Chain A
Amino acid sequence: MGGRFVRVGEAGRRVITLSVDGKPIQAYEGDTLLVAILTSIGNLRTSEFGDGLRAGFCLMSACQDCWVWTTHGERLRACSTVLTEGMTVSTQQPEGTWSNLE
C-alpha cells in the first residue's frame, strides 16, 4: 500500500532508513516517526476495538492515536518522536500490553 501523506517541500535532506514491520523504508532526517511511516505506508496501527486501521489524528501529542511499538515492546507516540537512523518499529501492538500497561 502506498503512502498517505504527500511531501510538498524540504526535499534534499539526508535519507534515513528505518524498518517498519520488518520492511525497510526510506525517509528523511528531520521527519517525525509519524511522517516517516505515513509517507510510505497508509497507517500506523490497528484499532483494538475492531473498527480498522488508524493513522493518527491530532499530530500535537493530545489524542494518542499514533502509537507504534519498538521491537522491545516500548510504546512510542509517533507524532512527537524524531526519526533516527536504523529505527525499528512495529505497527502491531505486542501481546499482553493492552492499552498502556507494561
Chain B
Amino acid sequence: MVEPRVVVVGAGPAGVRCAEALASAGIRPTLVDENRRDGGQIYRRQPENFARSYAKLYGTEASRAAAIHSSFEKLRGQIDYLPQTLVWNIEGRNLYLVRDARHITLTFDALVLATGATDRLMPVKGWNLSGTYSLGGAQVALKSQACAIGADVVFAGTGALLYLVAAQYQRAGARVRAVLDTAPWSDRVGALRDLFAVPATLLKGLLLTFALRRAGVPVYTGIEPLEIVGTGAKGVSGISFKDSRGRTVDMECDAVALGYHLRPETQLADLARCEFYFDPATRQWLPQVDPDGRSSVAGVYLTGDGARVRGAAAAEKSGELAALAVLQDLGRAPDLDAMRALRRSLETFDHFARGLNQAFPWPSGQAARLSDDTIVCRCESVSVGELRQVVQQAGARESNRAKAFSRVGMGRCQGRYCGHAAAEIIAHAANVPIEKVGRLRAQAPVKPLHIATVQNADEARSNASVEGVR
C-alpha cells in the first residue's frame, strides 16, 4: 500500500498535536513551518543561548509550553520537518514552498492548515509612526528576545492579550504606562456566564487584571483612542484618548502596543478554494469547517486559531481531532470515543470564545469616526479619506473593487492589518451592511517573494505538466 502523503502547515500547538496523532497512527507527515523553531507564536521558543526558565517565559502556561516542546522533540524522528519554509501557494493537490530561496513542490493527499492567527487591528491616527507595534509583536519582543518595545509603553486595544502582554511586561521589569481598553466593564459582566465555561482561564484573566492594578498600572476601560502622537522622524511621543466619561486624556509614552483580539490567517485556506461564511458575532469572514476540522474541500482540513480563534489549549485539541478526521477519511479506523471527547471539549472552548468576544468586542463603530487623514493602509500610507472617496465617488462598495481603486489591501501585508477595518469603513461610507462588502480574496504569493523564485516554480510546473494544474 502506498503511504498517504499528509502535509501539516504550522508547528504551533495545533500543528504539533496533529502531527503527533498522525505519527502515532503510523503515518509520517511532513510538517512545514515558517518559523525557525517549533512552538508557533504562543509557545515561541527563545534562542538556544538564552537562559530564562519556562516559568519566567510562559508564566501560568509553563507546563503546557514545556509539554508541547517536548512532544515535538520526541516526534522529530517520525516526521519530515521543514522549518523556515514558506508555503506561498496551493493549486489543486500541489503545495508550493520556498526554503532558502529554493522552490519546492509538495503533492498531498491530505493537507492540514494550522496557520494560526495575527492581531486584528483598527487604525488610529498616527498608528503608522515608528514605535507602534501590534500587541502580538510586543509579546514576541519580550518572549523571544527579552526586549520591551520602548522605555514607557502604553497597551491599547481590547481582548485577553491586552492584559496578558501588559502583565508580562510589568513582571519583566518594563515600564507599563497604562492599559487602555476600548471595551467597557459592563460588557465583561454580561459575558460572565459564557466565560464560566472555562473557569480556570477566567480566573487567570482576573488575576492578571488584579496584578496590574496592584502594581499601580492605570487601567482605563471604555476608552476610544483618538491619536498616537509623534512625528515621522522621531516616532511615537504620546497617545491621546477619550476616557469612559468622554474626557480627552493626553499621555506621554514612547511606544504603543495595539491590538483588538486576533484574526485567523486564512490566505492558504482561500487559495485551496475553501468556502467562507460571514460570522456576525465577530463581523468577519471565516472558513467553513465541520466540528472535526474538515473544510468544504475534500482532503483539506483547518485547525487551531487558523480556523477559529479559541486559544492555545483549544488548538491542541482541534489539532488532534483534525488528525483523527484525516485518518478516518483515509480509511484508517481512528478511536471514535477519543473523537467524541475532543469534540465535547471543543464545544466548551467555543462557549468561552463567545464570552471573550462579548467581553472584548471588536470596536466596529470606531471606523465611522476615523478622521479622513488617518492612515488605514500602513504599507502604502493610504488614508481613510482616500478609501471613502473611492466608495462615494467611484462607487466601489465591495472590498476587492475598493482595493483595486485605492490600493488598500494591496500592499506588502496583503490586507492582514487593514482588511477588517477597511471593510468597516467601506460599509459605513456606502451605508450597506458589512457582510455586503465581502472579503479580500487571497492572492499568491501569500507573502512577498523574489520574482526569480516564482519564475523557477513556473518552469518546474510546465516541465512536470501535472494534471489538474493550469
**Residues of A bordering B, CB below 8 Å:** 1, 4-10, 13-14, 29-32, 35, 38-39, 42-43, 47, 49-65, 79-80, 82, 99-102
Contact = CB atoms under 8 A, between A and B. Distances in A.
Nearest to A74: B450
Contacts, number: 155
A39 B147 CA distance: 9
Contacts of B46: 10, 30
Interface of B: 34-36, 41, 46-52, 118-119, 128-134, 136-138, 140-142, 144-151, 172-174, 231-235, 254-255, 265, 375, 378-381, 412-413, 416-417, 447-452
Given A58-B118, A58-B136, A60-B140, A50 B233 contact: no
Contacts of B47: 30, 82
Contact of B447 (A51, A56, A61): A61
A55 B447 contact: no
A98 B140 CA distance: 29
Contacts of A50: 381
A31 B137 CA distance: 15
B317 to A, nearest CB: 23
B145 A4 contact: no
Given A8-B173, A30-B49, A30-B50, A63 B416 contact: yes
A79 B151 CA distance: 20
A44 B334 CA distance: 51
B129 A82 contact: no
B130 A4 contact: yes
Contacts of A59: 133-134, 136-138, 140-141
Nearest to A6: B148
A6 B151 contact: yes
B145 A51 contact: no
14 contacts: A4-B130, A4-B149, A5-B148, A5-B149, A6-B148, A8-B174, A42-B130, A47-B128, A53-B235, A57-B132, A57-B133, A60-B140, A61-B35, A99-B412
Contacts of B131: 4, 55
Contacts of A100: 412, 448-451
Q: Which 4 A-B pairs have the closest CB atoms?
A: A52-B232, A49-B381, A30-B47, A59-B137
Given A6-B150, A65-B379, A79-B140, 13 more contacts: A13-B50, A31-B145, A35-B145, A57-B137, A57-B378, A58-B136, A58-B413, A60-B118, A60-B137, A100-B412, A100-B451, A102-B451, A102-B452
Given A80-B36, A100-B412, A5 B141 contact: yes
Nearest to B34: A61
A65 to B, nearest CB: 7
A87 to B, nearest CB: 16
Contacts of A101: 451
Contacts of B413: 58, 62-65
A52 B231 contact: yes
B147 A65 contact: no
Contact of A4 (B255, B381, B448): B255
Nearest to A47: B381
Nearest to B446: A62
Contacts of B130: 4, 42-43, 52-55
Contacts of A52: 128-130, 231-233, 235
A62 B416 contact: yes
A10 B450 contact: no
Nearest to B231: A52
Q: Which of B172, B174, B378 has the most CB of A within 10 A?
A: B378
B147 A64 contact: no
Contacts of B448: 64, 99-100
Nearest to B450: A102
Given A58-B136, A63-B417, A82-B36, A8 B378 contact: no
A57 B141 CA distance: 11
Given A4-B131, A64-B413, A58 B119 contact: yes
Nearest to B56: A9
A49 to B, nearest CB: 4
Given A57-B378, A102-B451, A102-B452, A29 B49 contact: yes
B148 A64 contact: no
Contacts of A51: 128, 232, 375, 381
Contacts of B450: 100, 102
